Structure formats: C-alpha cells, structure tokens
C-alpha cells in the first residue's frame, strides 16, 4: 500500500504542475492579447477557463479520496491539505487572467494608450513567481518559497509605479485617456494580485515543510 500511496502523492504533484502550467499560460495569453489588442486570444483565455475549473474539482476530489482511503497523518496529511490550498490558489490565478482578458476586450477596439513597458515587466514577474511557488511545493524547497516572498515587494512597487504614471501622465493631462487608463490600472492591480496569491502558496509551502508559521509573520522567515 505504501508504494501505491507514494505513487498517488506523485500524481498529486503532477496535477498541481499541470494546474500551474494552465495558470501561467492564461496569464501569458491575456497580456499578449493586451499587447496586440487580440480579441480572439482574449476570448480563448475566457473560454478555456472551464478546463482549469474542471481540473480544480478533479484535484480536490482526488485529495479527499486520498485522505479517506489512506488516512494519512503528520507530513503526508499536511502535504495533501497544502495541495488542496495550492489548487484553490491556482484556480483563482487563472480566474484573474480571465478578468484581465475581459479588460482587454474593453480595450481591443481602441488605440493603445501608451507603449507597454511596466505591465509586461509585472507580467514576467508574476509568471516567474507562479513557477517558483509551484516548484517550491513540488520540491519541498524552502529557499524557493522564500524567494517568492521576497519578490512581492517588487510587484507592489511596479504596480504603484504603473498607477502613478497613469494618473499623473495620462488621466490628469488628458481626460480623454481616463477610460482606457482605468482599464490599464485595473490590469496592473490584477497582475499584482496574482503575485499575492503566489505569496500565499509560498507561505503554505514553508508551513508544510517546517510546520512553522511564517504566514502573516514575515519577520519569522527562516
């Protein structure tokens, strides 16, 4: 039974990796759609969200089934319940990519307000934080999880810079830019929110590995 159980835990890892891949793809495509004002690509992000939702439910069921059949305790139990939490976080991340795509549809028929510089930077950061956070879970790697937590302030300052520029250089100087600027401002906030979800994952991973609470206590970082 034990070897079988280990194989099933490996299966959970693969499922989480797949979920993470879907989430990263969704982020990537939603911002590509923004850059190229590509309505079809934005719509494809929205329509493929159903696959992410189905995978989330399947992973959730698998976790419950694993607990019910194998009655794990201690580390194994914590691994599975952490998997359930990651699963929910990744589904939310994909949902945010869908939110971004909806903003893109609002913008698709209008001229691009400005060349995009900081939004692609924030996108790259958010995708790499998603990847790092999932790898931290799969490899039970505290160092990778810590890197995710340390990256979050970068995300905050990029978001603030984007917001400041949109208000001061566009909205206040030319009121005709306001509707488009608000969409970009929301997109920047969505991307920063994705980074927040990755820090939730990283905190859960550290808690799982060390059974030590860093969540809400950054000063206790190992």
Binding site residues, a second copy, CB under 8 A:
50, 53-54, 57, 63-64, 67-68, 71, 73-74, 77-78, 81, 84-85, 88, 163, 167, 171-172, 175, 178-179, 182, 185-186, 189, 213, 215-216
CB of 11 or CB of 179, closer to a second copy: 179
Provide, rounded to whole angstroms, the least separation between the CB of residue 202 and a second copy. 15
* Shortest spacing between CB 84 and a second copy, in angstroms: 7
- Nearer to a second copy among residue 112 and residue 172 (C-beta): 172
State how far the alpha carbon of 9 is from the alpha carbons of 58, 59, 82, in Å.
14, 11, 12
DSSP letter string, 50-111: HHHHHHHHHHHHHHHHHHHHH---HHHHHHHHHHHHHHHHHHHHHHHHHHHHHHHHHHTTS-
* Residue 34 per-residue DSSP state: H
Tell the smallest beta-carbon distance from residue 36 to a second copy (Å).
26
CA distance readout (Å), 137 to 40, 205, 210: 34, 6, 12
Q: Closer to a second copy at the Cβ: 81 or 124?
A: 81
Which tokens in the block code for residue 176?
Answer: 């005709």
Q: Tokens 């939490």: give the residue.
A: 85
CB of 195 to a second copy, least distance (A): 14
- Residue 45, token pair as written in the block: 């992000």
Nearer to a second copy, 57 or 117 (CB): 57
Taking the least distance from each CB to a second copy, the nearer of 1 and 68 is 68
12 and 83 in contact (C-beta within 8 Å)? yes
Nearest distance from C-beta of residue 173 to a second copy, angstroms:
8
């Amino acid at each position: 039974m034990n070897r079988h159980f280990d194989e099933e835990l490996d299966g959970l890892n693969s499922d989480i990796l797949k979920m993470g891949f879907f989430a990263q793809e969704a982020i990537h495509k939603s911002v590509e759609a923004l850059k190229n004002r590509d309505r079809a690509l934005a719509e494809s992000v929205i329509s493929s969200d159903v696959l992410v939702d189905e995978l989330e439910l399947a992973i959730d069921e698998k976790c419950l089934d694993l607990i019910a059949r194998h009655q794990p305790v201690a580390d194994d139990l914590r691994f599975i319940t952490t998997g359930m939490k990651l699963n929910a976080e990744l589904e939310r991340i994909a949902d945010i990519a869908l939110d971004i795509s909806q903003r893109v549809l609002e913008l698709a028929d209008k001229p691009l307000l400005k060349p995009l510089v900081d939004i692609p930077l924030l996108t790259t950061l958010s995708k790499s934080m998603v990847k790092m956070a999932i790898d931290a879970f799969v490899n039970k790697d505290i160092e990778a999880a810590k890197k995710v937590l340390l990256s979050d302030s970068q995300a905050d300052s990029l978001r603030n810079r984007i917001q400041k520029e949109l208000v001061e250089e566009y909205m206040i100087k030319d009121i005709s830019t306001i509707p488009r600027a608000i969409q970009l401002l929301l997109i920047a906030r969505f991307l920063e929110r994705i980074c927040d979800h990755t820090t939730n994952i990283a905190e859960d991973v550290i808690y799982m590995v060390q059974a030590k609470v860093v969540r809400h206590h950054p000063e206790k970082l190992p």
